[in-house]
Amino acid sequence: MTEEKLSRRKYLKYAGAAVAVGAVAAAGYGISQYYQQPTPTTISPTSTTPMVTTPTAGKKKVKIGGTKPFTGPDALAGISEGNSNKLWTKNVNEAGGIKAGDGNTYEIELILYNDEQKPENVPRLYEKLINEDQVDFLLGPVWGPLGMATVPVVERYKKFEVYGTAAFDPKDYRDWKYIVHTITNGPGYMAAILDMILERVVPNDPDANNIAITHGDDAFRATAGGYGYEYAKDKGFNVVFYDTYSSSVTDLTPLLTRVKNADPTIYLNGGVYADAILLMKQMRELDFNVKMIWAGTGTVFPAFYEALGKYAEGCVTCTQWEKGINYPQDFGPSADEFLNSYQNEYGETPDYHAGTGYQQGLVIQKAMELSDDPLSSESIRKIAGEMEMTTFFGKYKVDPVTGWQIGHKMGVIQWQNGEKTVVWPMEAGAKELWYPFKKWSER
């Protein structure tokens, strides 16, 4: 082996490369800081270092654990839900803890891991939570496939879990005994908008009965859109067009050309954020006008409005909860109290994932208050299956056997002058609905 002398030329080359790499790294750090300014999380991005909120020493405690996708495509939703899990823990502990049905007061220790939005990580982390961390109860993650990945572990170890913002196809249900749900499931997403159309639009515009439905083909989009299509037919809508598309689609113009030719009055699409933006941009490019549009659940995010600006005005979408939806609650904080508490803690307005995260905690809290064996999964599951409550998030009532949410009702919001305005349900304080959707050329 020959030893090569480092020439001046090579030295300069390596030094130059080092400076270039340093400059790129510095620039990257700068950009990172610039774009990360609004991110209010302090949660470790690694799955091995949990975020732990510990109670005061000497008091009885309940250990609650779960995972969230703190990194990955749905990280923002995971961070929101995790933030609210933490906020609930903090608020309850500051108020002295959970006054359980056995006469004891329990402070909460919360352990959250990052599942990196990889379903393959979930069983290992939930087993760790159950076997090593010895948690009493579990909080489910955000995103359907992650939620489904918790089910075998939860059922095997018979640990009570409150599912998170994770939809699932009811056909996949297999006699789960230890899980209850907080949110309206996937089949109810489009149904909420269809109910709103029937109640607020069709009486004034019979043409609104002519609708087109499309949706992506992954589990969530197919559940939201496929069940929505069946619901629309059941409710007597005239579905003039129905088709699906690959969820990894990069161009929707061929599909939109067909939808446009079917001439619907209202167009509903079971999509998420990326295809919602794509659909809106390409509808405009094709000058495809309808009187009302639901581009997908991603419409709910402020980033949707930021990306489309004036072209987002008038878009509607369903939501599990939103600022402006005010139910007269009989348990937990009011909507304003939750809103203020979240804003004080994280400096931003909570979205519906944050609402779900707080509701997860409230379900455990209420069930423990009613139980004389408050650390038993069997007892808590039974009570959680039978109890009812209305929180800021809406009604909580599940089917006692399946644990499916049957009490919660989704809301519908519409972008109006850059703000999300609640337009349904009427009992939650709905405001005026903008109808019809303004034509592209008139914006």
Partner 1 sequence: MSLELLAQTIINGLFIGFLFGLAGMGLTIIFGVMKIINFATGAMIMLGAYVAYWTYTYWPYTAIPGIIVSVGVGFLFGILVYQVLVRRLIGKPLLTTLLVLFGLASILENSMLNLWSPNPRSIPVDFPTISWGLISISTSRVFVSVMAIVATIVVLAVFKYTTFGRIIRAVIQDKIAATLMGVDVNRVYTLGFSLGVTLTFLAGALLAMVYPFEPFGGLPYALMAFVVVVLGTLGNPVGCLFAGLIIGTVHSFVGSYWTLNMSPAVAYLIMIITFLIRPQGLMGKKE
Asked if 75 interacts with partner 1 (CB under 8 A), we say yes
Residues of span 307-346 touching partner 1 by CB under 8 A: 307-309
Nearer to partner 1, 255 or 368 (CB): 255
How many residues touch partner 1 under the rule CB under 8 A: the total is 47
250 binding partner 1? (CB under 8 A) = yes
Q: Is 245 in the site for partner 1 (CB under 8 A)?
A: yes
Please tell me whether residue 22 binds partner 1 under the rule CB under 8 A.
no
Strand order across the beta sheet in which 411-416 lies: 316-319, 411-416, 419-424
Nearer to partner 1 by Cβ, of 60 and 284: the residue is 284
252 near partner 1 (CB under 8 A):
yes
Q: How far is CA 136 from CA 81, 217, 300, 371, in A?
A: 20, 37, 34, 14
Choose the binding region for partner 1 from 161-169, 240-248, 333-341, 413-421 (rule: CB under 8 A). Answer: 240-248
Stretch of residues binding partner 1 (CB under 8 A), selected from 246-254, 360-368, 387-395, 396-404:
246-254
- CA neighbor of 135 nearest in space, from 114, 119, 159, 165: 159
In whole angstroms, how close is the CB of 374 to partner 1 at the nearest point? 38
32 binds partner 1 (CB under 8 A): yes
- Of 251 and 427, CB closest to partner 1: 251
Return d(Cα 335, Cα 324) in angstroms, integer. Answer: 8
**Residue 31, interface with partner 1 (CB under 8 A)?**
yes
Applying CB under 8 A, which part among 179-187, 272-280, 346-354, 395-403 lies near partner 1?
272-280
Q: Is 249 in the site for partner 1 (CB under 8 A)?
A: yes
- The reply to whether 297 sits near partner 1 by the rule CB under 8 A is no
| DSSP secondary structure code for residue 427 in this structure | G
> How would DSSP label each residue in 331-369?
SS--HHHHHHHHHHHHSS---HHHHHHHHHHHHHHHHHH
CB of 277 to partner 1, least distance (A): 4
**DSSP letters for 208-269:** GGEEEEEEESSHHHHHHHHHHHHHHHHTT-EEEEEEEE-TT-S--HHHHHHHHHH--SEEEE
Site for partner 1 contains 278 (CB under 8 A): yes
How far apart (Å, rounded) are the C-alpha atoms in residues 135 and 62? 8
Evaluate whether 424 touches 440 at the Cβ level (below 8 Å). no
Taking the mean position of all CA atoms in its chain, how far away is CA 91? 22
Contact, 103 vs 174, CB < 8 A? no
Identity of the residue numbered 113: Y
Residue from 198, 222, 274, 370 that binds partner 1 (CB under 8 A)? 274
Shortest spacing between CB 81 and partner 1, in angstroms: 15
- Judged by CB under 8 A, does residue 17 bind partner 1? yes
Q: How far apart are CA 340 and CA 345, in angstroms?
A: 8
What x-and-dash track marks residues 171-210 binding partner 1 by CB under 8 A?
----------------------------------------
Among positions 15, 52, 303, 426, the unique one binding partner 1 when judged by CB under 8 A: 303
d(CA 409, CA 192): 8
Three-state DSSP at 69 gives coil
Per CB under 8 A, 417 contacts partner 1: no
Counting contacts by CB under 8 A, is residue 261 touching partner 1? yes
Binding site for partner 1 (CB under 8 A): 17, 20, 28, 31-32, 35, 39, 71-76, 217, 243-246, 248-255, 257-258, 260-261, 273-274, 277-278, 281, 284-288, 301, 303, 307-309, 440-441
